[in-house]
Structure 1
Amino acid sequence: MKAKKAKVKPEAVNAALAAKKGPVSQFVAHNYRHFNAAALMDAAKGYEAHLKAGGKMLVTIAGAMSTAELGISLAEMIRQDKIHAIVCTGANLEEDIFNLVAHDYYERVPHYRHLTSEDEQALLERHMNRVTDTCIPEMEAMRRIEAAVLEEWVAADKAGERYFPHEFMYKVLRSGKLKKSYQIDPKHSWMLAACEKNLPIIVPGWEDATLGNMFAGHVISGDVKNVHTVRTGIEYMMWLAEWYTKTAKTLRNGEGSIGFFQIGGGIAGDFPICVVPMLHQDLQRTNVPLWGYFCQISDSTTSYGSYSGAVPNEKITWGKLGSKTPKYIVESDATIVAPLVFAWVLGQ
């Protein structure tokens, strides 16, 4: 009887793939073999394979990943053309720039779980806005950026011009008015990297971010006359629909597709993934392909009605993903997982 050929073990395959990469990738390949660790490994290999097949990748960013300084790895992904569009919350758009100009004034509170209400009040009185274990200084970060972007809002308002939130931030960065205030290595700012590439950024629900609140205040006070000076929501979806349609057509020989790499959940993830069923069902553009890759990193558990914790297969029923779309979910902390996936894709 003929002996069965032994199957090549996954760890051997991963070791071979990592052999030409750097030490971080080799460490991941050697150690990450089961459970969420294996899911991370599979998602990273899938990301790389998607790009090698000629695909593009849209990355969505929820939570407070900019304050977590994801820019250290994300900026290099942008510079090396491993990311072709970003969808993020207004908080992530602005907090990367807050960190860029006020990093030295941030305070870490490692014992945040033990803070009393009085401790929190004391932080408020010092104008220190806490995000888990990190406090953002209002005066050095938020108000400094408010002053810079207000000039752009007012100038556009007077000229009768309208721009998206990310376009206003690009204007601020390109003006050079903040350059003397940089407090981190500029290569660690993902917004600077995106600005240099003129990367498409979509910011759904910008109104609930700090700068969105400030813009509302300046409209109420009369500093900005036209509330439509900043373009938002529906116009972003319309822009995304055209970007998706045109990008899908340009992919070589019809082989590549557009992938979806989701960090966290919420509006940053739900808003852009809906563009495909909208194109198919509402615009009848049935020749537009589905998303060709999907990965979500989230510590949200599946529960009744949860979107952030919904498994990828649920998206099939909404016309967002296909039954054969490569799908990955890593149920873990994105601040740990995303930099490791990026390191693999970058060959580090």
Structure 2
Amino acid sequence: MSNKGPVSEFLTYHFRHFNAASVVDAAKAYEDQLQSGSKMMITLAGAMSSAELGLSLAEMIREDKVHIITCTGANLEEDVFNLVAHDHYKRIPNYRDLSPQDEQDLLDQHFNRVTDTCIPEEEAMRRIEDHLVKRWVKATEEGNRHFPHEYFYDLLLSGDLEDSYQIDPKNSWLMAAAEKNIPVIVPGWEDSTCGNFFASHCIEGRTKPIAIKSGIEYMMYLSDWYLNNSDNGVGFFQIGGGIAGDFPICVVPMIEQDLGKSDVPLWSYFCQISDSTTSYGSYSGAVPNEKITWGKLGIDTPKFIIESDATIVAPLIFAYLLGW
């Protein structure tokens, strides 16, 4: 423990049983994966960007402890919303007590609520819309096509938003990912605010759907990435459930069963942080061993389920890995 800081020491001393022990076990096994030369994918569901996970995830990316990310369209865009409009966000600690009229009042003020955090439409969403539209239109006119995250990378690296920053950009996980140019897989991107923007501009004829590469193309890209990076294993660190986890974990059985390639390495590590109740028929609530039958994990794959709130657990695991 000599290379660990006070947060890590607190975890290893106090987190000894039940979900707490799983947090430490998962963190140590993640560290073992990195030390053995494995790559690591992190998947982001829920509203982790609005929960400001970038405060720890950005440093994980900079220190090469994350090599690929899969996220929802919401997490992709909400990291940028927070970057340019943080001062205009409204926090509502008593969100459980809001009445329907309270919710309508927030809408009338152009706030969209995510649990206790309200995103300001004009300052966040509309502030980046024109920048993205300019890029979509240009791609359409030039006959070019890009993945959703590539448009965001170009926007961040261009400096077009610098005058609008309201947090330190080192706390933006997407900025860190753009600077490292790590892959970001965004299945179902159209199910996002910016996806809605894009659809509306396609309807108006300003751009065309062809400007955005599809989820199928993301799977093709991920397949190629996995085959080129799995010699020493690729771990799977899943935050929440949903498409962010369901989509990428299927790349292994797809390569083996559908492409007919033999000896494809299974995912070498699996950890899911979820408050989903273990259940039958619910993918997010499925225990890891079920994934063995689908050709995703092996009998000996280190497997962890942490039944807790990811906004609490993920920063603690990242803190351990960063030696904090």
Structure-2-length-normalised TM-score: 0.99
Q: Which residue of 2 aligns with 1:63?
A: 46
The residue that corresponds to 2:243 in the other structure is 267
Structure-1 residue corresponding to 2:211: 229
Instruction: Tell me how far 1:228 sits from its aligned partner.
Output: 1.2
**Are 2:81 and 1:105 equivalent residues in the alignment?**
no
Over 2 Å off, 4+ runs: none
The residue that corresponds to 2:280 in the other structure is 304
What pairs up with 1:240-259 in 2 under 5 angstroms?
A: 240-248=222-230, 251=231, 256-259=232-235
C-alpha distance in 2 between matches for 1:289 and 1:57? 14
Looking at structure 2, the residues matched to 75 and 20 of structure 1 have their Cα atoms a distance apart, in angstroms, of 20
Q: Name structure 1 gaps, 5 residues minimum.
A: 1-17
Tell whether the 8 Å contact from 1:19 to 1:26 is kept in structure 2 after alignment: no
Aligned to 2:185: 202
* RMSD over aligned Cα atoms: 0.7
How far did residue 25 of structure 1 move?
0.2
Name the counterpart of 2:140. 157
Equivalences for 1:170-189 in 2 at 5 Å?
A: 170-189=153-172
- Which residue of the other structure, out of 16, 25, 32, is the alignment partner of 2:8? 25
- The CA deviation string for residues 135-181 of structure 1, in whole angstroms up to 9 with x for no partner, is 00000000111111111101111110000000000111111110010
Residue from 259, 262, 269 that aligns with 1:283: 259
CA distance in 1, matches of 2:90, 2:8: 32
The alpha-carbon deviation at position 20 of structure 1 amounts to 2.5
Compare CA radii of gyration and give the structure with the larger one: 1
What does 1:24-43 correspond to in 2, within 5 Å?
24-43=7-26
SS in 2 for 1:308: coil
Q: Distance in 1 between matches of 2:244 and 2:262?
A: 25
Aligned partner of 1:166 in structure 2 is 149
Name which of 317, 320, 323 aligns with 1:344. 320
Deviations 1:71-107 (A, max 9, x none): 0000000000000000000000000000000000000
| Pick aligned residue for 2:299 from 323, 336, 339 | 323
In the TM superposition, residue 302 of structure 1 has moved relative to its aligned partner by 1.5
Q: Secondary structure at the match of 1:184?
A: coil
Q: Distance in 1 between matches of 2:78 and 2:71?
A: 11
Report how far residue 305 of structure 1 moved: 1.0
In 2, Cα distance between the equivalents of 1:332 and 1:257?
27
Partner of 1:212: 195
CA contact (8 A) 1:204 1:271 kept: yes
Q: For 2:101, which of 118, 126, 150 is the aligned residue?
A: 118
Q: Displacement of 1:304 after TM fit?
A: 3.4
The 8 Å contact of residues 61 and 89 in structure 1, kept in 2 or not, is answered as yes
Q: Tell me how far 1:242 sits from its aligned partner.
A: 0.4
SS across alignment from 2:218: helix
Specify the code of the residue in structure 1 equivalent to 2:257.
Q
Q: Deviation at 1:303?
A: 2.3
Paired position in structure 2 for 1:6: none
* Corresponding residue of 1:8: none
Distance in 2, matches of 1:286 and 1:109, equals 53
Percent identical among aligned pairs is 67
The partner residue of 1:335 within 300, 311, 320 is: 311
